[in-house]
Protein backbone atom coordinates (compact mmCIF):
# COMPACT_ATOMS: atom_id res chain seq x y z
CA UNK A 1 0.00 0.00 0.00
CA UNK A 2 2.79 2.35 0.71
CA UNK A 3 4.19 1.71 -2.71
CA UNK A 4 0.81 2.53 -4.31
CA UNK A 5 0.63 5.85 -2.50
CA UNK A 6 4.04 6.86 -3.78
CA UNK A 7 3.05 6.08 -7.36
CA UNK A 8 -0.22 7.94 -6.87
CA UNK A 9 1.56 11.08 -5.63
CA UNK A 10 3.99 11.01 -8.54
CA UNK A 11 1.15 10.58 -11.04
CA UNK A 12 -0.77 13.46 -9.45
CA UNK A 13 2.29 15.73 -9.61
CA UNK A 14 2.81 14.91 -13.31
CA UNK A 15 -0.85 15.49 -14.11
CA UNK A 16 -0.78 18.88 -12.30
CA UNK A 17 2.39 19.98 -14.13
CA UNK A 18 0.86 19.02 -17.48
CA UNK A 19 -2.32 20.97 -16.78
CA UNK A 20 -0.36 24.10 -15.77
CA UNK A 21 1.73 23.94 -18.94
CA UNK A 22 -1.33 23.49 -21.13
CA UNK A 23 -3.35 26.32 -19.50
CA UNK A 24 -3.27 29.68 -21.31
CA UNK A 25 -1.38 32.59 -19.60
CA UNK A 26 -3.71 34.49 -17.35
CA UNK A 27 -1.78 37.86 -17.58
CA UNK A 28 -0.51 39.53 -20.76
CA UNK A 29 3.10 40.82 -20.95
CA UNK A 30 3.19 44.68 -20.77
CA UNK A 31 3.21 46.57 -24.05
CA UNK A 32 5.97 49.17 -24.27
CA UNK A 33 6.70 52.08 -26.58
CA UNK A 34 9.35 54.80 -26.59
CA UNK A 35 8.80 58.55 -26.91
CA UNK A 36 11.82 60.80 -27.52
CA UNK A 37 12.20 64.27 -26.02
CA UNK A 38 14.06 67.00 -27.87
CA UNK A 39 15.13 70.31 -26.27
CA UNK A 40 17.67 73.07 -26.70
CA UNK A 41 19.48 75.63 -24.53
CA UNK A 42 20.80 78.71 -26.31
CA UNK A 43 24.14 80.29 -25.52
CA UNK A 44 23.56 83.27 -23.26
CA UNK A 45 25.58 85.85 -21.36
CA UNK A 46 24.18 88.10 -18.64
CA UNK A 47 26.08 91.10 -17.33
CA UNK A 48 25.11 91.93 -13.75
CA UNK A 49 23.36 95.21 -13.06
CA UNK A 50 26.04 97.80 -12.11
CA UNK A 51 25.92 98.86 -8.46
CA UNK A 52 26.17 101.77 -8.13
CA UNK A 53 24.84 102.61 -11.59
CA UNK A 54 27.33 105.48 -11.94
CA UNK A 55 30.10 107.29 -10.10
CA UNK A 56 29.50 110.78 -8.74
CA UNK A 57 33.04 112.06 -8.19
CA UNK A 58 32.00 115.54 -7.09
CA UNK A 59 34.57 118.35 -7.11
CA UNK A 60 37.70 116.96 -8.79
CA UNK A 61 39.96 120.00 -8.61
CA UNK A 62 41.86 121.21 -5.56
CA UNK A 63 40.10 124.17 -3.96
CA UNK A 64 43.13 125.69 -2.25
CA UNK A 65 46.86 125.39 -1.72
CA UNK A 66 49.62 125.16 -4.29
CA UNK A 67 47.52 122.86 -6.51
CA UNK A 68 44.38 124.99 -6.48
CA UNK A 69 42.50 124.51 -9.77
CA UNK A 70 44.47 121.39 -10.71
CA UNK A 71 43.32 117.77 -10.50
CA UNK A 72 42.89 116.54 -6.95
CA UNK A 73 43.88 113.03 -5.91
CA UNK A 74 40.91 110.76 -6.65
CA UNK A 75 40.83 107.39 -4.90
CA UNK A 76 40.15 104.22 -6.90
CA UNK A 77 36.42 103.66 -7.35
CA UNK A 78 34.61 100.31 -7.63
CA UNK A 79 31.38 99.22 -9.24
CA UNK A 80 29.97 95.73 -8.61
CA UNK A 81 28.38 93.65 -11.38
CA UNK A 82 26.85 90.75 -9.40
CA UNK A 83 25.46 87.60 -11.00
CA UNK A 84 27.40 87.90 -14.26
CA UNK A 85 27.58 84.70 -16.31
CA UNK A 86 28.02 83.04 -19.69
CA UNK A 87 26.81 79.46 -20.06
CA UNK A 88 29.42 78.60 -22.70
CA UNK A 89 33.20 78.72 -23.04
CA UNK A 90 35.03 81.25 -25.18
CA UNK A 91 33.01 84.28 -24.07
CA UNK A 92 35.00 87.50 -23.80
CA UNK A 93 34.69 90.55 -21.58
CA UNK A 94 35.87 93.90 -22.93
CA UNK A 95 35.81 97.49 -21.71
CA UNK A 96 35.81 100.71 -23.70
CA UNK A 97 35.79 104.17 -22.15
CA UNK A 98 35.86 107.84 -23.01
CA UNK A 99 37.94 110.39 -21.07
CA UNK A 100 36.23 112.34 -18.31
CA UNK A 101 35.74 115.50 -20.36
CA UNK A 102 34.15 118.89 -19.89
CA UNK A 103 30.80 119.04 -21.69
CA UNK A 104 30.90 122.67 -22.80
CA UNK A 105 33.43 124.95 -24.39
CA UNK A 106 36.91 124.43 -25.72
CA UNK A 107 39.82 124.35 -23.31
CA UNK A 108 41.81 127.56 -23.35
CA UNK A 109 45.61 127.72 -23.35
CA UNK A 110 46.95 126.68 -19.95
CA UNK A 111 43.76 124.76 -19.13
CA UNK A 112 42.66 121.21 -19.78
CA UNK A 113 39.19 119.81 -20.16
CA UNK A 114 39.97 116.09 -20.00
CA UNK A 115 40.90 113.66 -17.25
CA UNK A 116 42.16 110.20 -18.15
CA UNK A 117 41.69 107.06 -16.05
CA UNK A 118 42.07 103.28 -16.14
CA UNK A 119 39.26 100.73 -15.96
CA UNK A 120 39.89 97.07 -15.21
CA UNK A 121 37.92 93.94 -14.43
CA UNK A 122 39.69 90.78 -13.31
CA UNK A 123 38.18 87.38 -12.46
CA UNK A 124 36.89 86.66 -15.97
CA UNK A 125 39.87 85.35 -17.91
CA UNK A 126 43.54 84.62 -17.31
CA UNK A 127 44.27 88.35 -17.57
CA UNK A 128 42.21 91.40 -16.66
CA UNK A 129 40.10 93.28 -19.18
CA UNK A 130 41.51 96.81 -19.15
CA UNK A 131 41.37 100.16 -20.87
CA UNK A 132 43.25 103.41 -20.34
CA UNK A 133 41.71 106.56 -21.78
CA UNK A 134 44.05 109.00 -23.48
CA UNK A 135 44.28 111.42 -26.38
CA UNK A 136 45.92 108.62 -28.41
CA UNK A 137 43.11 106.15 -27.61
CA UNK A 138 40.23 108.14 -29.09
CA UNK A 139 38.12 105.01 -29.61
CA UNK A 140 38.60 104.08 -25.96
CA UNK A 141 39.23 100.40 -26.75
CA UNK A 142 41.17 98.18 -24.37
CA UNK A 143 42.17 94.55 -24.04
CA UNK A 144 39.58 91.86 -23.43
CA UNK A 145 39.62 88.82 -21.17
CA UNK A 146 38.27 85.48 -22.40
CA UNK A 147 36.99 82.66 -20.22
CA UNK A 148 37.73 79.26 -21.74
CA UNK A 149 34.88 77.60 -19.81
CA UNK A 150 31.33 78.58 -18.85
CA UNK A 151 31.55 81.00 -15.94
CA UNK A 152 29.29 82.55 -13.30
CA UNK A 153 30.79 85.17 -10.99
CA UNK A 154 30.39 88.57 -9.38
CA UNK A 155 32.57 91.08 -11.24
CA UNK A 156 34.15 94.27 -9.90
CA UNK A 157 34.97 97.18 -12.19
CA UNK A 158 37.83 99.26 -10.77
CA UNK A 159 38.22 102.84 -12.02
CA UNK A 160 41.56 104.30 -10.98
CA UNK A 161 44.68 106.29 -11.88
CA UNK A 162 42.93 109.58 -12.65
CA UNK A 163 45.34 112.01 -14.32
CA UNK A 164 45.54 114.79 -16.85
CA UNK A 165 47.90 114.65 -19.83
CA UNK A 166 49.53 117.83 -18.55
CA UNK A 167 49.29 119.31 -15.10
CA UNK A 168 47.32 122.27 -16.42
CA UNK A 169 44.47 123.92 -14.60
CA UNK A 170 41.10 122.26 -15.10
CA UNK A 171 38.56 124.14 -17.16
CA UNK A 172 35.38 124.77 -15.14
CA UNK A 173 32.16 122.97 -16.03
CA UNK A 174 30.48 119.58 -15.87
CA UNK A 175 32.68 116.60 -16.75
CA UNK A 176 31.19 113.38 -18.12
CA UNK A 177 32.52 110.02 -19.29
CA UNK A 178 31.04 106.74 -20.46
CA UNK A 179 32.39 103.27 -19.69
CA UNK A 180 30.96 100.41 -21.78
CA UNK A 181 31.37 96.77 -20.73
CA UNK A 182 30.71 94.13 -23.38
CA UNK A 183 30.28 90.42 -22.66
CA UNK A 184 29.76 87.85 -25.40
CA UNK A 185 31.40 85.81 -28.15
CA UNK A 186 35.08 86.68 -28.55
CA UNK A 187 34.64 87.10 -32.31
CA UNK A 188 32.11 89.88 -31.69
CA UNK A 189 34.52 92.11 -29.77
CA UNK A 190 36.91 94.69 -31.21
CA UNK A 191 39.89 93.82 -29.01
CA UNK A 192 40.96 90.31 -28.20
CA UNK A 193 42.97 88.99 -25.28
CA UNK A 194 43.17 85.95 -23.07
- Mean residue pLDDT of the chain comes to 86
Sign of CA dihedral 69, 71, 75, 80: positive
Q: In the structure, what pLDDT confidence band is assigned to residue 138 with cuts at 50, 70 and 90?
A: confident
Residues 6+ apart with CB under 8 A from 135: 99, 114, 165
Phi, psi (deg, nearest 5) at residue 12: -65, -40
pLDDT in tens, 14-32: 555 555 555 555 688 999 9
Separation CA 1–CA 143 (nearest Å)? 106
What is the mean pLDDT of the segment spanning 152-181?
95
Separation CA 165–CA 28 (nearest Å)? 89
pLDDT in tens, 98-108: 999 999 877 78
Question: What angle is formed at CA 148 by the lines to CA 143 and CA 153, rounded to 5 degrees?
Answer: 80
Cα pseudo-dihedral 8, 12, 14, 16, rounded to 10:
180
Quick one: how many helices (H) and strands (E) in the chain?
Answer: 1, 12
Question: What angle is formed at CA 160 by the lines to CA 120 and CA 45, rounded to 5 degrees?
Answer: 25
Q: CA Rg, the chain, in Å?
A: 38
pTM, two decimal places: 0.78
What are the structural domains of the chain? 45-187 (2.60.120)
Encode 150-182: b = buried (16+ Cβ within 10 Å), e = exposed.
ebeeebebbbeebebeeebbbbeeebebebebb
pLDDT in tens, 45-59: 999 999 999 999 999
What is the mean pLDDT of the segment spanning 91-96?
95
Separation CA 129–CA 145 (nearest Å)? 5
Separation CA 95–CA 82 (nearest Å)? 17
Amino acid sequence: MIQHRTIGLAATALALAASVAAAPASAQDPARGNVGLDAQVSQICVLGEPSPAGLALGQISEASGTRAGRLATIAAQTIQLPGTFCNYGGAALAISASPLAVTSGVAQAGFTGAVDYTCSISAWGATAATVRTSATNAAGDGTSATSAAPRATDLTLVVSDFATATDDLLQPGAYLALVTITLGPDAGLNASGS
